[in-house]
Amino acid sequence: PAAQAIGFRCSSALSQVGSYVRALRLGIATLKGAHAGSGGPPVSEVSCRNLLASISLSLGDYAAAEEHLGTSRKLIEDLREETGLDVITNLGGLYRETCRPLDALPLAENALRLAESIGDPNGLGVALRCVNLGLVYQDLCRLPDAITLFRRAVQIETALLGEGHVTTCQDVSTLAEALRNAGETGEAEALLVKSLSAAANWGTQAHPARASLLTNLARIIEDRGEVAKARGMLKEALAISAEANGEGSPRLAPCVNNLGVNSLMASQYSQAIIEFEKAIALEQAQNAVVEYRLAHRQLNLAIAHFLNHEVEESRCILERAWPHARAARTVLTGRVLLVRLALAFVSQEP
């Protein structure tokens, strides 16, 4: 039992510093220890599976996360307890990550209410659930509500953990992205610059939270036309993500896709095609492909071919992407695909 407890704490600590692959290995070993236990209450296995589900979500292994969470729900009956709250939280995160925001919404709302009733309304547990619910609101185009929740989470974490803590930095990045999407780029940029400085003072240079900060700052800089400067930040973000997730991990797909977008903005269409093709390959390497993400990558690739005067190739890619967009039930992606498909056809008309 002592070794199991140490393994659980070490796996959790590794996850918090972004070493997801090592955290997963240790977590699996800890779960095997729980199975070999002395027949006590199942809470230890539930805790292990909750941790493994969280790590699996971070690594993009949604099938494994769903398996762990499904087993956890069977092992506990009272979802109002703290362990049950973790199950609700992770299950909501799984639904959101797999493009099921309407399924995630009641779970995320319930998780925040339970967190507020069980513990300190200004505690870290509440901050976590604020971010989770805010992300669901964001997916449902309720951006003002999302920003309100993100601000609340950052205020709690700054007070309890400090500005440079990895959790604070990650959620500052989430808030800044929402502000940018709402057109508040000035505030977003100021938050990101300040958070990156604080992270450096805390020694979190190689954490995925820094990669997130760099990515969002690069997007703002790109919008101003400073494409080369933004590319340096995006490359650094990719290197950090590769260190955390492993070379060839599907979790690198967004970073590679961002480099492709940067190449597009620099009119480097051939380079963009290479990067988008790599991002698609990484998406397809996942145990369970997320349809809307794959459709988005294919759309970017089609745009690159179109701008590179390869109209027929663009049309073929769009036709391949369309079933994925329909399967994902993402109206916006579907509409954009239709527009691009029409453009490709129109360009071939006499």
Q: For 242-266, how does the pLDDT look when each residue is reduced to its tens digit (9 = 90+)?
A: 988 888 888 899 999 999 999 999 9
pLDDT (tens digit per residue) in 7-49: 878 888 888 767 778 888 888 888 877 655 544 444 467 778 8
pLDDT over threshold 90, residue 337: no
Q: What is the mean pLDDT of residues 54-63?
A: 80
Which residue matches tokens 């990550």? 97
The three state secondary structure string of 288-317 is: CCCHHHHHHHHHHHHHHHHHCCCHHHHHHH
CA distance 240 to 251: 12
CA 40 to chain centre: 36
Distance of CA 139 to the CA centre of its chain: 12
- Res 43: pLDDT: 42
Regarding pTM above 0.85, the answer is: no
